[in-house]
Chain A
Amino acid sequence: MKDLVDGAMARAMEFQADGGSGEFYRRLAEGRFQSTRCLCCGRTAFPPRPFCPGCGAGEVEWADLPRRGRLHAFTQQGRALRFLRPEVLGLVELEGVGLVLSRIDAPFEALSLGQELEVAFLPVGGGVVLHQFRPV
């Protein structure tokens, strides 16, 4: 069952990749947590895009995202399609970037708003690596 979901997810992510997600996950699989930064105004966008959503410039470069952020909000879903057990999801505030949805690698009860988290990598099968965050 898990293998079927993993395989389907890998295919769906490749088939439905947008202008930035293919490269984002390729870099994530290499241990690089990065997104696109505008060469014109310097703004880092998340999700990554081949242009700057702030100023419209067409020149961007891949740059490291902050490895640490603060827990802006979190919840738990008991019946996730992907993970067959209760999973904690959170929005992590990355300074200068904004809110990023991720898996939080800690028990729900142990978490509090505003706490500092650090990015970690989560291989999920099918060759896909996701990001997750852990309390520092």
Chain B
Amino acid sequence: MALAGGAMSALTKLRALDSFELVRCVVEEALRDAGIPRGEVRSLAVTPPGLAGHSTAMFVSRLAAYLGLPLRSLACLENGGTSGALALRWAMHEVRSGRCPVAVAAGADQRLDTRAEPGETVEAFIDRNVHTTVAVYGPYDGPYGLGAPIPYYAMSAQRYMAETGATPTDLAWAAVRLREHAQGHERAMFRGRTLTVEEVLASEMVCPPLHLADCSQFVSGAAAVVVVAPEVARALNRPPVWLRGLGEYHHPSSFSAGAVDLASFPSVREAAREAYADAGVGPRDLDVAEVYGVFSSTELILCEDLGLFPRGRSGAAFREGRASRGGEVVVDPSGGRLSLGHPACATPLLETLEVLLQLQGRAGARQVPGARLGLVHAEHGMLNGSMVSIWERDA
């Protein structure tokens, strides 16, 4: 099967549109991009519109009614950061089954204002936030006051540095290169704002050793891609981008609970191994890779677990430009999570869209010349589970 087209919304700090309209816009635009009339869509798979906040029960049922689309397949899939990749996986299953020659996968993440809601008392506000903390981080980690996963990733960064000799400067180089990549992306959150290694190291220390500029910014936004059967793909105007390999692995741990290693992730290594074997390619064959690096440290660890650079050498690779245009493989040409922006539920589809654009030669100012083979990585938990897909354009 193949990717036929895709689209993304503007990325904004807080929600800019209601969730139905946000998803409708990217679905319609993705179909226009693919050159496929909306009436041909048989399957729609989406993520919940964000992982926190208001109830999203039966979101996709109401969404399909809003769209006015009769469908033979309709699903909402959620598993943290892999949610968008799961929606894509569902679309691919439905195309492969033969029932649905055209399937759309969409993901959206709406960041709510975290202040108290109108009329909410202080007591109710605290109650709501404490319950959310315990719900997300569990009855063992939650009571220690985690409000975000940053401490976990900070400890991962500390272990990575201790075990490999990587330095804060190595981490900073990943952030700096991603910021450079984002300058070529018209919808990147950090377009027009340059970043230097010195500025990363001088930014606020959020959780040592992670500075503010080592962290991605949660934003609102949506993305969608259109998956089609081979006969549909060959009839379209653009060169199709074919699925070549898939890998997925879930380590039985959640955040740090049950974790065996914080400096290298079994889920990434195992999902990558399966995807490379399925595709019959290796990391050296890749032209581009979009990875779910939400922190500069995980960006480096991911590159190593995916086999792009040797253990402990990713920082040097970023510094020397070997992860940018002209290098061995361009990592996150979109600017990545750190500089494109990170609407978590939509992120895997933003990554897939970037690989699609790169492989079709449509990435404009950030185009990787001659890109033919690309990889997409997504994760949930603290990299407890990973999904990897490999895509190739027609020679």
Contacts and interface: CB of A to CB of B under 8 A. Distances in A.
Interface stretch (B75-83, B128-136, B371-379): B128-136
Given A4-B122, A4-B123, A101-B257, A73 B143 contact: no
B144 A130 contact: yes
Interface in A78-109: 78-83, 87, 89-91, 98-99, 101-103, 108
Contacts of A90: 155
Interface string A1-36: 000110011011101111001001100000000000
B35 interface: no
A76 B207 contact: yes
Interface residues of B, number: 40
Interface string B374-386: 0000000000000
Contacts of A135: none
Contacts of B134: 9, 12-13, 16
Nearest to A22: B139
Tier of interface size on chain A: 35 or more
Contacts of B138: 18, 47
A46 B138 CA distance: 13
A78 B133 CA distance: 16
B202 to A, nearest CB: 17
B158 A12 contact: no
A131 B357 CA distance: 51
Interface in B104-159: 122-123, 126-127, 129-131, 133-135, 138-147, 150-151, 154-156, 158-159
Contacts of A79: 147
Contact of A75 (B131, B151, B260): B151
Given A13-B134, A17-B139, A101 B126 contact: no
Contact of B256 (A5, A77, A101): A101
B259 A99 contact: yes
A4 B144 CA distance: 16
13 contacts: A5-B130, A9-B134, A13-B142, A15-B131, A16-B131, A16-B135, A18-B139, A24-B140, A78-B206, A80-B145, A82-B145, A91-B155, A98-B259
Interface of A: 4-5, 8-9, 11-13, 15-18, 21, 24-25, 46-47, 53, 72-83, 87, 89-91, 98-99, 101-103, 108, 113, 124, 128, 130
Given A12-B131, A53-B252, A76-B208, 15 more contacts: A4-B126, A5-B126, A8-B127, A8-B129, A13-B134, A18-B139, A24-B140, A72-B155, A75-B210, A77-B206, A81-B146, A82-B144, A83-B145, A87-B145, A98-B259
